[in-house]
Amino acid sequence: KLREFLNFKQMSLKEAILLDYYTAGFCWAKEMNFSLVQLSGFMDLLNFLLENISDKHMTLGENLKELGKAMSGIGDTDSERSGDLTFFSIEQAKAIIDYLNISLFKYYKQYEYLFHSAREEHVISNE
């Protein structure tokens, strides 16, 4: 279902890696018993961070700053200082950061390579 939602038709290596990442994130969020709003916000966050790598060519430091902005204000009642993810508790925010550290930021160079390196396609046939 997620493959269809992401509109991955040919399942290249890049699409397979992204599908695996989104699926793992979805399963983790379900295990955390996130509400539908929280689950949607978490998946948006995953997409946002990957787009920062793929489209905006952000460095790890820049992407971490963007994560900080998005998560600012969690647990704070001052709505003017809040980011977009205020529906998470402080404990959930800490768990999200831990998850992102082990799933995305630890492998940041590999994701940069995935999005920005030219790869040769080897064609193998019986001819």
- pLDDT digit string (tens) for the chain, length 127 residues: 877 777 777 778 888 889 999 999 999 999 999 999 999 999 999 999 999 999 999 999 999 999 999 988 787 655 554 467 889 999 999 999 999 999 999 999 999 999 998 665 555 666 5
Report field, pTM of the whole predicted structure over 0.85: no
Residue 65: its pLDDT value, please?
A: 96
The phi, psi pair for 31, rounded to 5°, reads: -65, -30
- For residues 75 and 58, what is the distance between their CA atoms, to the nearest angstrom? 27
> What pLDDT sits at residue 83?
61
The residues spanned by each domain of the chain are 32-74+85-116
Which among 100, 31, 107, 109 is positioned nearest to 71, based on CA atoms?
100
